Amino acid sequence: MKVRVLTFAVLSLALAVTSCKKDAKDDDDSNTVDLETRVTAHADDQSRISNELDAVDNDVNTYIEETSAFGREQNVMAPPCNTTVTFDSTQALRRMTITFNGNNCANTHSRTGTIVATIPMQQRWRDSGAVITETINNLRITRLSDNKSISVNGTRTLTNASGGRIPNLYLPGPGHRNSIRHRINGNMTVAFDNNTQRQWSVARQREFTRAPQDSLVITVTGTHTDGQTTGISEWGTNRFGAAFSTQIVEPLKFNQGCGFRLGAGKVQHNVVGANTVVTFGLNAQGNPTGCPGANPYYFKAVWTGANGNTQTVIRPYF
């Protein structure tokens, strides 16, 4: 009888241990899946906000360069699609209002909302240090491939850090410049498609150069420093309520010959629980690619999970 009782007790203990191990494994798997979901969602959010505002900035630059109110120059960038622009001035400011009301030229995103750009009357945009203030009002950008949207409100400044205008890259003689540098700083409220609203700050430099084929190349770097961390381009709170900062560790490249799509570069997302390195400009196998035509580029996100194992995901972006 004692033997039977002992055997039953040992069996019960073994089952309990096995059950605990299974539960622990299930918890680990659940945490891994949850972490992967959060990592990939944040990587996608950051690339969307960054890339789509870069595309908007290209449209803003086009209107700045071609309009007499801001000092008309030759336009070397494609005219924006489904936008209208109006101008008015006060004694102190020149004002330009850009209204977005449909698909972009590539038909990959739909955009609605306005950006109001102002510059002091006494400033000329071609001068080094000239500052344009942008007020973003209910700018809603929808990715047509999956109908996911973000909405942005806030204020940014666009500073002509180098002086000169983008067409100066193409001018011979004394007016020629090898590069034009703009710096963007600001604070925004971003509303995600899961009904969360978060605060994001931005500090980026966009450098324009001329490629051998005469197309423009835009190189983006981060300009904010926090303690020992340099090259920060965005920081704030992500959709999951976690504080983050994003460093550009290899400059982001946009080539006019590729439709100004993000074709190369690497960032690091610093978030409690998982620092993630994301590489852009890849194919579906995770290898660098050239212009993919109408096909998506892919990013590769790499991070270390709670168990110390390196995790990798490859996802498309547009």
CA 260 → CA 55, 167, 263, 306, distances in Å? 8, 17, 8, 37
Question: What pLDDT does 69 receive?
Answer: 67
- CA gap 257, 265 in Å, rounded: 17
* Predicted local confidence at residue 273, as pLDDT: 72
- In this structure, of 32-41, 97-106, 197-206, the range with the lowest mean pLDDT score is 32-41
Residue 73 is predicted with a pLDDT of 59
CB 83 within 8 A of CB 60: no
- Would you list the domain boundaries of the chain? 34-317
Question: Per-residue confidence at 72, pLDDT binned at 50, 70, 90?
Answer: low
Mean pLDDT of the chain: 86
Query: What is residue 240's three-state secondary structure?
Result: coil
> Which among 90, 92, 96 is positioned nearest to 71, based on CA atoms?
96
List CB contacts of 205: < 8 A, sequence separation 6 or more: 161, 181, 182, 183, 184, 220, 221, 222, 223
Q: What is the pLDDT of residue 75?
A: 62
Residue 220: strand pairing partners: 206, 252
| Contact by Cβ (8 Å): 82, 56 | no
Residue 29 has pLDDT above 50, yes or no: no
pLDDT of 90 reads 82
Contact in structure between 255 and 217 (CB atoms under 8 Å): yes
114 or 291: whose pLDDT is higher?
Answer: 114
Amino acid at 4: R
The answer on pLDDT for 143 being more than 70 is yes
pTM comes to 0.85
Q: Which of 14-23, 162-171, 222-231, 241-250 has the lowest mean pLDDT?
A: 14-23
Q: Is the dihedral of CA 169, 49, 273, 305 positive or negative?
A: negative
Can you say how many angstroms the Cα of residue 61 is from the centroid of all Cα atoms in its chain?
18
Burial code of 229-241, b = ≥16 C-beta within 10 A, e = fewer? eebbbbbbebbbe
- Residue partners of 52: CB distance under 8 A and separation at least 6: 109, 141, 150
Judge whether residue 47 has pLDDT over 60: yes
**What pLDDT digit, counting tens, does each position of 171-209 carry?**
887 788 999 999 999 999 999 988 899 999 999 999 999
pLDDT the model gives residue 85 = 92
d(CA 205, CA 161): 9
| pLDDT recorded at residue 194 | 87
Note the pLDDT tens digit of each residue in 248-307. Answer: 999 999 998 888 899 999 999 999 778 999 999 999 999 999 888 878 899 999 998 767
Read off the pLDDT band of 18 (50, 70, 90): very low
Per-residue confidence (pLDDT) for residue 66, from 0 to 100:
80
Asked if residue 16 has pLDDT above 50, the reply is: no
Burial 191-210 (b: 16+ CB within 10 A, else e): bbeeeeebebbbbbbbbbeb
Cα 112 to the center of its chain, rounded Å: 18
pLDDT tens for each residue of 303-315: 987 677 899 999 9
- Flag whether pLDDT at 95 surpasses 60: yes
